Amino acid sequence: MQSLDYLVFFFYFIVVSGYGIWIYRLKQSKTASTKDFFLAEGSLTWWAIGASLIASNISAEQFIGMSGNGFSMGLAISTYEWMAAATLLVVGIFFMPIYLKNHIFTMPQFLNQRYNSTVSMIMAIFWLFLYVLVNLTSILFLGALAVSTISGLDFTLCMWGLAIFAVFITIGGMKVIGYTDVIQVVFLIIGGLATTYLALNLVAEQYGGSGIWEGFAQMTKNSEDHFHMIFNEGHKHYMALPGIAVLVGGMWIVNLNYWGCNQYITQRALGADLKTAREGILFAAFLKILMPIIVTVPGIAVYTLYQKGLFQKEMLDSAGVLSQDNAYPVLLNLLPTGLKGLSFAALTAAVVASLAGKANSISTIFTLDIYKKYLHTEADEKQLVWVGRITILVAMIIAIFISPYMGIDKKGGFQFIQEMTGLVSPGVFAAFIMGFFWKKTNSEGAIFAIVGGFLMALWMHYNLDYIPFINRMGWVFLICVAVMVVLGYLKPSKKGLEIDAKMFRVDTKFGVGASIVVAMIVSLYWYFW
Q: What pLDDT, in 10s, does the model give residues 441-477? A: 999 999 999 999 999 999 998 899 889 989 999 999 9
Percent of the chain clearing pLDDT 70 (strictly above): 89
Q: What is the pLDDT of residue 26?
A: 66
Q: Compute φ and ψ for 104, nearest 5 degrees.
A: -90, 125
Mean per-residue pLDDT, 200-212: 90
Domains delineated in the chain:
3-16+44-412 (1.20.1730.10)
Q: What is the pLDDT of residue 412?
A: 55
Q: What is the pLDDT of residue 31?
A: 46
- C-alpha–C-alpha distance, residues 127 and 136, integer Å: 12
pLDDT at 308 over 50: yes
For residues 119 and 441, the answer to whether their CB atoms sit within 8 Å is no
For residues 67 and 327, the answer to whether their CB atoms sit within 8 Å is yes
Tell which phi-psi region holds residue 152, choosing left (phi > 0), alpha (psi between -120 and 50) or beta: left
Mean per-residue pLDDT, 363-381: 82
Give the pLDDT confidence of 379-432 residue by residue, as tens digits.
777 788 788 888 888 999 999 988 887 766 665 566 677 778 888 889 999 999
Q: What is the pLDDT of residue 410?
A: 61
Q: What is the pLDDT of residue 450?
A: 93
Which of the listed ranges 248-252, 341-345, 494-498 does the model predict with the highest average pLDDT? 248-252
Q: What is the pLDDT of residue 409?
A: 62
Q: Compute φ and ψ for 379, nearest 5 degrees.
A: -60, 135
Q: Which residue has the higher pLDDT, 342 or 237?
A: 237
Other Cβ atoms less than 10 A from the Cβ of 472: the count is 23
pLDDT at 374 over 90: no
Q: Which residue has the higher pLDDT, 185 or 190?
A: 190
The β-bridge partners of 524 are none
pLDDT at 40 over 50: no
Give the pLDDT confidence of 102-118 residue by residue, as tens digits.
888 778 788 888 999 89
Q: What is the pLDDT of residue 43?
A: 58
CA count, 13 A, side-chain hemisphere, 354: 26
The separation between CA 201 and the C-alpha centre of its own chain, rounded to angstroms, equals 29
Q: Considering the entire predicted model, what is its pTM?
A: 0.81
- C-alpha–C-alpha distance, residues 370 and 458, integer Å: 26
